[in-house]
Structure 1
Amino acid sequence: MKLPGSGPLILLFLLHIKSLLTISISRHSDALQQVLSEFSITRPIRTDSKGRFLSASLSTQHRGRRKRHTTSSNLPTDSNNVRTQTGMPSLHQDLPSSLSSSNSWKGRGPEAEDEAQLFYNVTVFGQQLHLRLWPNSRLIAPTATMDWEESGQFYSEPIRNNHCFYTGTVANMEDTSVAISSCDGLAGMIRMGGDEFFIEPWDQWSPGEQQQEEGGQKHIVYRSSAIIKKKSAVSQTETFNQTTKDFVRGPLLGSLNFTQTLVPPGSGSVRRRRSTMDEQFYIEVLLAVDYSLLLFHGRDHIQKYLLTLMNIVNEIYQDHSLGGNMNVVLVRIIMLSGTKSQELISVGNPQKSLENVCRWSYLQQREQSNAEQHDLTIYLTKQEFGPFGMQGYAPVTGMCQLHRSCVLVLEDGFSSAFVAAHETGHVLGMEHDGEANDCDEDVPLGSIMSPRVQATFYRYHWSRCSWRELHQYLNSYDCLRDDPFNHDWPAQPQLPGFQYSMDQQCRFDFGPGYSLCTAYTSPDPCKQLWCSDYSNPFFCKTKKSPPLDGTKCGPGKHCFRGFCMKLTLDFLRTHGSWGTWSSFDSCSRTCGGGVRFRTRKCDNPSPANGGRTCYGNSYEFQLCNQNPCSPLTDFREDQCKAWNPFFEHKGIKHHWLPYQHPDADERCHLYCQSKEMGDVVSMDRMVHDGTLCSYEDAHSVCVRGECEHVGCDGQIASDKQEDRCGVCGGDDSTCRIIKGNFTRSTKKPGYLKILEIPKGARHLLIQEFKGTPHILAIKNKETNHFFLNDEDELPESRVVIEKGVVWKYNRTGEQESVQTSGPLKYDALLMVRSHGDSKVTVSYKYIIQDGVQSSLESNLLEEDSVLYDWALRKWSHCSKPCGGGTQYTRFGCRRKADGKMVETMYCSNINKPRPISRKCNAEMCKSPR
């Protein structure tokens, strides 16, 4: 909770004692029984969409992460930690079988999504489940990196998207969810109905025939309820005297004392804004992993585990109860050294630990334009930063403030995904359900933001309070509008060695004059890059790493993962990347708000050999020439009118009128209505760019067949709205309601003027009191044109568009009504086409802005005395209770049309009759006794 006038508060997250966790699977059943009360062994298989067997091989990754291996050696090293020798070492190593496999996921654009779908059959405690999975191709940003420190040196390498992270559902079952990795077997969670399961490989089998013979790779499946929870070995010290309650609302983060200029929320480049209900938001995550996790999971498995964990976090934020437009994207992983990990985590002091982590996170920020710029840091640790039961710690509403956008999570397996999601919710502005809001009934149902989380993989949701609190702040988090998959980052080659020969790489490593060592013959030059100086070609040096993947190593061969081989098209695949933007073209209109575009092409480079096409839009637009046109101009009407000489319908030409389609999705397509027949016809084309989407919205415009929301301030996706009388951002304080009634006697045939409605009037409603044979008609005073119910028209209920204003006419029996939301672009006259001599009485009501002349002040009407008069309402009370008093008449204002008494203001211009007096209570008063 954030108290008025206080600084940012830190929220504690106490995980329920029944919290979930994953376990590192032991190879022995007796060891498993010590941590699981129940488990099952299963052998999943890969199937087609119908569940028919395809393969026992489960892995879908096509390219593993490149690792740097440091082999121990007794060779001397120079001052630059470079191994040197005067003879080439033995580099013999068997080619791993995984490189000979063509089991690779072919990256494609969104149109091929169905082809990338995967299906597995998994037997869970005797029940066979058919999993339908789709790739989560937007989990890892295109330029994401993993950074780490090793032997005093810092390294960085790309996080390769192995395309083995999936989300999906269980077929033929309702309310299911799956988040799984298939990098080396299946690992993740399966949620269905009232149960949830974890699945992990039992052991690491080698791919190929062994799996086929054994019937598939063994996996262990277990329920979260089967986990035997044990108290952590790290106990709370005696000196740690703060209680759990003390951490529910932690101290302020004021001690950080950052003096640097920070990028506040809302700053940065101009972006197109949409409603938060429709817009996609991206939480770009820096995942910080301290040394305790590396020791626990091992270097070879840590990346796969982290990506699986983030896949589950993203699945939680994609839940429909939050709106489904929040995307968690990994942009960077930093593996901390043991020394740095101990510096940041202060055991038993969550406040100090979080301050250290937030300060460190702030120092990791990159330039705003950098692809690795993060919005949030999630710090995972196994060190006990708080008392037993404390699983997370985070500041509230810290998003987009790099010194406060950070969370601390005690890693405890897959269940840590819920902790990370919960703490991230605090940073986004969400409070604990039932503590700072009225959503206490959601807590036992498994809400993510429960103080002691009840959420599990089979029972979780975001409460309505979380949704409300998120959307209260979401519009101010501009950093989340940055789409990491839609940037003009410089295109990188698929394999970096394509650009550099071994000689060039030697010069990068050791300086000018160095080239590939040719003094000795190597069985495979791709094992390690050995270089020599031209002045001493027999003295060779290496930095212990192989040449870059893609480096040419022989005729038609290239280095790949330390081996010289022929590369297939799969390795040569090139993914598309955007080129530069063109300049903006000319405006589509000369007035009234046009549109102009700039474009870009997917040619930097173009996709080749099955590579993916570019993500994002190929065009951007901006509004132009927003000066108003003539008030009697209707752009949509002009487009329909242009077809009068050409377009034939039912064999004849027509006068085409504008038509607004009732389906909002069709309003940016040109529909016209025949004046002669009333038929509505599609012209099979989109309206011109800059045409208003709707006559009821004077600002939003059509762009390439889609309606783009524009605020009343002329800004795309702005939330600014007009009040009821048309003031942009107004509060109705300058609005004036004009209403009244008129009665007319029709003594001769023809048109009789009833009322003049001024230009600018809005929300007009005209109604007959009772039906008459007369017909209401509307005339444009400026053009003198009857556009509703002229002499040649039948009085039928319909919608009429006149110079950009929609009029709705309704006739039920003989009773009529006319309404429009306006605003009127011209003065309009309400007329009556008389039939017979009966009186016609109408009521009217509309809204104008102060300063606009009302109809009562502008039209020539008969005096109010024709409509109202003063009538005797009652006698006043007698002035004396006895002995002769006096009483007077009381008059009220009466409407002549129906005899109803109305407010006296309607008779204010009519002379009020003088009161009439009379004697009363004439009996003598009795004398007091």
Structure 2
Amino acid sequence: MWDRAPTGHAAGPPPELPPAGPAAGPPAPARAGPASCIARAAAAAPMPRAAPRWPPLLLLLPLLPLLPPPPPPLARGAPARPAGGGPASALVVPTRLPGGAGELALHLSAFGRDFELRLAPDASFLAPEFKIERLGGSGGAAGREQQLRGCFFSGTVNGEPESLAAVSLCRGLSGSFLLDGEEFTIQPQGAGGSLHRPHRLQRWGPGRAAAAEAQPLPGAPEGEAEKGEGQRQEEAEEEEEEEEEEEEEDEQGKEEETEGASEPPPTLGATSRTKRFVSEARFVETLLVADASMAAFYGADLQNHVLTLMSVAAHIYKHPSIRNSINLMVVKVLIVEDERWGPEVSDNGGLTLRNFCSWQRRFNQPSDRHPEHFDTAILLTRQNFCGKEGLCDTLGVADIGTICDPSKSCSVIEDEGLQAAYTLAHELGHVLSMPHDDSKPCARLFGPLGKHHMMAPLFVHLNKTLPWSPCSAMYLTELLDGGHGDCLLDAPTSALPLPTGLPGRRALYELDQQCKQIFGLGFRHCPNTSAQDICAQLWCHMDGAEPLCHTKNGSLPWADGTPCGPGSLCLDGSCLPQEEVEKPKAVVDGGWSPWGPWGECSRTCGGGVQFSHRECEDPEPRNGGRYCLGRRAKYQSCHTEECPPDGKSFREQQCEKYNAYNYTDVEGNLLQWVPKYAGVSPRDRCKLFCRARGRSEFKVFEAKVIDGTPCGPETLAICVRGQCVKAGCDHVVDSPRKLDKCGVCGGKGNSCRKVSGSLNPSSYGYSDIVTIPAGATNIDVKQRSHPGVQNDGNYLALKTADGQYLLNGNLAISAVEQDILVKGTILKYSGSITSLERLQSFWPLPEPLTVQLLTVPGEVFPPKVKYTFFVPNDVNFSIQSSKERATTNVIQPLLNAQWVLGDWSECSSSCGAGWQRRAVECRDPRGQASTTCDEALKPEDGKPCGSQPCAL
């Protein structure tokens, strides 16, 4: 949000006043929501993780009959995946369910799941004067428009509040819905219009654009990444056995074919290739919405006014101090003449933002190539916004860092004439991830930045020679380099032309009109008797009232181009000769400076990174000239020699630094921090996730790990400026060198031998499977559950040579995936609730470990355990038979049910007050659901989180 500075007033002619500054007082912590800067409390919300970019849900349902005819019929409920990564589809027959008053409920079943649509009539996207125009016909029956209004419904799916559904029930069921990040479309199969006829349901995945590039899951044959429910149990069991045999044959065949020069797992060293540290032209396609209060105030001048605001803001974004090529483009203007058809607007800025964000989605197009698709939506209103303390000094509201999220990329602006252009530019800066200039991160990196840049928390006076602070430019650059602004790369096919020339030269912005736009009807310009800096401050008074002059926002200047004397015009707050103001200025495109020297290496060993930069200042762009395009930074590897072995990974060292901060649990015990990999999204691998040792609690201590940190335990890729980049096993960026199966960098795979085995019979308790020696690589232990049995009573366990359990010891079973840290090496465990329980490690094992099988009493299901790993040729190792290694640590049968705990979810809020949840289930000794656990001993399933204050 942006606030206005305190309003000033004076009796008679205005005195000489210094520019007003922010009121004293400490910054208030921000909400994890709209960026806020209420008077005396300038704050902005932290940048949220970028959510998946879902295609906005459209209500253009009358267009569905124009779609291409559907493909040939399928068997009901059988999903199909066309070649080329198209959508999965199934034939369904909608079933109507009982619903509440004014509610319609429909049930669909496909893709192995059920969908329950709860719908209510919704024709809000149709304008009040909506008409249908027909060409070449008789004109149609009267009243058709009103009939169509009863066709449209919207609602939710499966009761999920984040889901969306929009359908038409005329001539069958047509429309689309979003659930769990996937988009589904439905339409009648063939001709006809009955709800009870077959319909085609298509699943498009988490974004149609991405669906075209979808790949089968690892290990799945092409075209068989998904299975239907219709498979027979016998076929599933046969395929499972055949798959296991084929796995062994494939492994042996590969070993013979390559003579030991096998490749590491596909994920090792692999990473996506995207442009990094490259200045590219960005186009912010914008929807401008003016509400009914704007239409009533400006009348026929409204469209000209809103485009003028955008023209001023676009000029500010062309300034080279932003250090990027940003082009604001208006693709559509919506004027709401009847407030009933617009978003709900109130004096609560945050609530108005939420209402508008929800409302604007219906007007967007899913394809970025559509001429009316927009990247952000802006609402302009004359409504005054007030804060909690009753101070109505808020000028705008926006969320931070949401530019490519169709559901959150929006802002609301209070219109006060031309000054709203600066509010618009400020709030759009928040959407582009810029915090306030007085925020703690900006102050820590750049020191005091003053109060005259665009992202100052209070509007005082903009320094037009340097409108953007270095902190704003840095945050924008990081957003774009991180791939979070890729929706801005496409240039619009059509855009509304913005007004040119100085606004003060138009009658809409003569001095009296400027006063009316800021203060309201009845206000006129208050003449300034001082000729000095006459354009620097606009003073106004109520017509016919006592001569009390008012000003707003400290020192709001006259509009550029306003006449300020004979032959003189205002420009940037100064009164200058008209010839000087209107003299054409040469447009100068920017040019790159020479590359700077290489910076300091990020690591002292193990493969660091150093940077060299160049700036767009030879020459610097001027007068709207183009900003430089191309690479702005380059990097290279440094200090690639191996680090001395100390049993700790580089990421582990970064987590250990926070042990000194004395974090404690609820009982006052000090927490020790270790790296967390399990459950971390691939796009977040370069954030510093740390988990409390032996516990599920975790924190994100840093938004970016130190450059050169490996992205994960299963890859050679390293983090550079928060992004994963390809690297070789020699710690050199873009190196092709890989680890062979023996763990040797660039080796031929002939320095080790493969060890494999299996275990079938077992007894209750812990049974040894195999002791893996130190130095073993590419460890893979699998325990496959029996078909149709989720918990067959068999679980993998792991212990050290001294008998200390690292996994599933003392009858405590880990249901979810976790990381097992062994002297800097990570073993990844899949969790026991998966049908294929798995323990994997790719790097050399630092010490011997014994893999065991835990079998609990209950219905007997023989275990199906297989393992493989590679040991160096110089290691004396042989596999003893299972019978010779009969366990001596048989346990007594477990007779009682116990509480089984899942991992804590991520905090619902990145800072401030949030909540975490976890699964707490009662399980009997066979792993089945039970009701005999002691409720008094049930662990908590929720807890507050986000105790860290929000970044400003």
Question: TM-score, normalized by length of structure 1?
Answer: 0.31
Report which of the two has the higher share of strand. Answer: 1
Q: Name the larger-Rg structure.
A: 1
Question: TM-score, normalized by length of structure 2?
Answer: 0.30
Select the structure with the greater relative contact order (CA < 8 A; seq sep ≥ 6): 2
